[in-house]
Amino acid sequence: MSICNGIACQLRISASHFLSNCRPLAHQTKCRNISITSGSRMPNSGIREYSACVRPTSLTRSGVNVQCPQYITRARRRFSATVVASHGHIEPPKPGEQLNVTFIDKDGEKHHFQVAKGDNLLDIAQANDLEMEGACGGSCACSTCHVIVEDADMYDKMEEPDDDENDMLDLAFGLTETSRLGCQVKMSPELDGLVVRLPSMTRNLQASDFEQK
């Protein structure tokens, strides 16, 4: 009996000590906000916010009401998305408004297409699965859509390349007097019958490669 009484006494003391430590937490709610952002500065990076809160709860065991904290974690995520213009999608020309363009690929094979006014050569090539990369997405920031106009007279009918295009053409492999960037050449009635050749290779150099870091 003395042993049992001793154990019961220790249990009462432990329970009393436990209650004295836990009860103050029953009246407290602790919250912590954590913001996590991607290390990249890209505009489309997601932002995640996390909130961790401590809330009191009640446990009943053997008739004793014990106040203990329960940790509840709630996560809120916010994502931003920007619609990116797709390339390689073109609409079929209206009847009677077809414009003709021919691509000569790296193997010398000719590919003839009928396209609409305003379509650029990069979109036409990609829509028809020709090997034209367009690494910058048609923003005139690389030279991977380099084409060579076969007819000098047809080249003269095109609008003059601007400074940005000329800068990128300087990086192109196999540059010629009639070289252009496919993303900058839009089909027009004056260019009906245009023939362009794809160079044997391209250099994937972009304007961002030369920016100071």
Q: What is the per-residue pLDDT for 14?
A: 52
Banded model confidence at residue 70, pLDDT cuts 50, 70, 90:
very low
CA-wise closest residue to 79 among 130, 109, 44, 31: 44
Q: Are 113 and 101 in contact (CB under 8 A)?
A: yes
Query: How sure is the predictor about 12, in pLDDT bands with cuts at 50, 70 and 90?
Result: low
Distances (CA, A) of 100 to 45, 164, 193: 42, 27, 5
Give me the pLDDT at residue 24, please.
43
| pLDDT tens by residue, 95-126 | 999 999 999 999 999 999 999 999 999 999 99
Name the β-bridge partners of 76: 49
Residue 95 phi, psi dihedral angles, 5° rounding: -55, 130
Q: 189 pLDDT exceeds 50?
A: yes
User: Residue 71: its pLDDT value, please?
Assistant: 40
- The token duo for 32 is 């912590």
50-54, 67-71, 111-115, 152-156: the lowest-pLDDT one: 50-54
In terms of pLDDT, which residue wins out, 2 or 81? Answer: 2
Alpha-carbon 150 to chain mean position: 36
Q: Is the pLDDT of residue 40 over 50?
A: no
Contacts of residue 51, Cβ cutoff 8 Å, sequence gap at least 6: 31, 32, 33, 34, 73, 74, 75, 76
Band the pLDDT of 10: cuts 50, 70, 90: low
- State the pLDDT at residue 144: 95
- The CATH number of 99-210, from 1.10.1520.10, 3.40.50.300, 3.10.20.30, 3.90.1280.10, is 3.10.20.30
Q: Write out pLDDT tens, residues 118-152.
A: 999 999 999 999 999 999 999 999 999 999 999 99
pLDDT above 90 covers a percentage of the chain that reads 51
Give 18's pLDDT tier (boundaries 50, 70, 90). Answer: very low
In the chain, where the domains are located: 24-83, 99-210
Give CA 102 to chain center in angstroms.
33
CA nearest neighbour of 184 among 209, 211, 163: 163
Alpha-carbon gap, residue 12 to 205, rounded angstroms = 77
Comparing 56 with 103, which gets the higher pLDDT?
A: 103
For residues 58 and 97, the model is more confident at 97
Spell 37-76 as b/e; 16+ CB within 10 A means b: eeeeeeeeeeeeeeeeeeeeeeeeeeeeebbeeeeeeeee
